[in-house]
Chain A
């Protein structure tokens, strides 16, 4: 279980560019929750994920994961328990290393880095089976450099790497936004499949309202550093994009402004 309590984050404090991005935000994520997060430009969606993963330090508030306070834990330490997929497909893999070497790093995410072999022969079967699930033909290319793969393939590998060792929490930060529509759909389906299969707890930021409605069991809408709408279960399933937009205008008193959401 992830509990976020009274979280605050201000960027460029004390300057003209001061921006209070996260305002007293509290959120409880239950084990097995797959939450989609939508919101207008600058609502603080990515910042929230960065605060949880430890890439951005908090100003005040607490973050608790599975009973341990991780508010002041380093991002590297948290990475042993939290899996991440970034928006940029180039971010999550090492282009100069083979597919199997990348997966071997992921396989050791939770452990220490010793002088034992970086990859054992019997692991290859595990990797081959995991890659076969992706249906991208990568299982026969274990010794290809990741740099040779397309953006979609790299993102699929990143997804696999984030979940190879079951993470307590999976953070997906607009991870399909940089892909073409067809590839984006494939990667999204894969994400859903992996999350369901391993019963993962996940937070997925997306700019696509329809995706936010179609995937996951709970939906959160953010605006101006706060959660303004939190809906789950049957109620969520009945949502439509129109209803969601209307809800947004009702609560926030402003028009939903997300460039990409409006364009897609």
Chain B
């Protein structure tokens, strides 16, 4: 476990954190387990990389990717609210449909490498490579990722914090918390679910787009596989480590961002253990999520056993 491994983990983590905030919105704020993620993530990557390769300004390309991602959220939201299809199934339907869409966007290729001027190049023109010398050169790409990811996360958390303080944002929160009450308060819950999923998927597309540009150097048709679990793992790690009482929305978002960074760092370090392969990543992730979700059960079991022991101990004592 070297410093370089940790830095690379953080560098990936800040970009994945954007996805995590998206998953947090759907999973916790809206209370919808949205599987669209796995299709929106490569969608964001495919759209932006293809547009960048066509010579489009990278910022504009990413913006379009975000909008297309939001559209995917609108589709899932419509399936859930208008057509009353169960949320999990609605997400799966959009995800499967997006697989075909993504392949079309990528002109029947499974991988499209970034060939034009990307956001990474843009940031690299601001932070020059000459600033790093000797041994530090290897950290240069990580610095680019960390800078971009950090700026994006800070902006997103700030904007979401402001948004969820508005009348509209409060209406979205109320819908996720108690839809019956929200309707009795004259809130169009269907629109709020669609809006919430659009925002969530927009963020996920942004994350996919940036990871394709900074980390993979290409858009991959199957890069979405397992992303929902990665997102959930990060959310749960953030919550378990940092959220123990009532906190503001911005704090919770920050906790979730930190969760993503920690998750990625753990994974990066885990993969340096001899005998583990990169393809073991999903197994490790699944185990982490399962253990994290099972924690409450472990806790009550432990408490029960303790109670039983004291009870029996007292009985024997007299």
Contact = CB atoms under 8 A, between A and B. Distances in A.
A114 B168 contact: yes
Interface string A90-105: 1111111100010011
Interface stretch (A79-87, A179-187, A206-214, A221-229): A79-87
B181 A118 contact: no
B190 to A, nearest CB: 9
Given A86-B180, A93-B178, A97-B177, A76 B246 contact: no
A218 interface: no
Contacts of A118: 165-167, 169-170
A238 to B, nearest CB: 36
Interface string B157-196: 0000001011111110110011011111111110000000
B23 to A, nearest CB: 18
B183 A76 contact: yes
Interface string A133-152: 00000000000010000000
A93 B181 contact: yes
Nearest to A108: B167
A32 B269 CA distance: 71
A115 B167 contact: yes
Contact of B167 (A75, A79, A117, A162): A117
Given A94-B173, A116-B167, A118-B169, A106 B183 contact: no
Contact of B189 (A76, A93, A95): A76
Nearest to A112: B167
Nearest to B165: A118
Size bin of chain A's contact surface: 20 to 34
A108 B169 CA distance: 13
A113 B187 contact: yes
B244 to A, nearest CB: 15
A91 B181 contact: yes
A236 to B, nearest CB: 29
- Most chain A CB within 10 A, of B174, B180, B181, B187, is at B181
B293 to A, nearest CB: 20
Contact of A91 (B170, B180, B188): B180
Given A76-B186, A76-B187, A114-B166, A105 B171 contact: yes
Contacts of A112: 167
Contacts of B186: 76-77, 79-80, 108-110
A8 to B, nearest CB: 24
Contacts of B185: 79, 105-106, 108-109, 161
Contact of A113 (B165, B168, B180, B181): B168
Contact of A96 (B165, B169, B173, B189): B173
Contacts of B187: 76, 105, 113
Contact of A95 (B166, B177, B183): B177
Contacts of B173: 94, 96-97
Contacts of B171: 105, 113
Given A76-B183, A106-B185, A118-B167, 17 more contacts: A75-B183, A76-B187, A77-B186, A79-B186, A90-B178, A91-B181, A93-B181, A94-B173, A97-B173, A109-B186, A113-B168, A113-B170, A114-B168, A115-B167, A117-B166, A118-B166, A118-B170
19 contacts: A76-B189, A84-B184, A86-B180, A86-B184, A92-B184, A94-B181, A95-B177, A96-B177, A97-B170, A97-B173, A97-B174, A101-B170, A105-B170, A105-B174, A110-B186, A113-B187, A114-B167, A117-B167, A118-B169
Interface of B: 163, 165-171, 173-174, 177-178, 180-189, 246
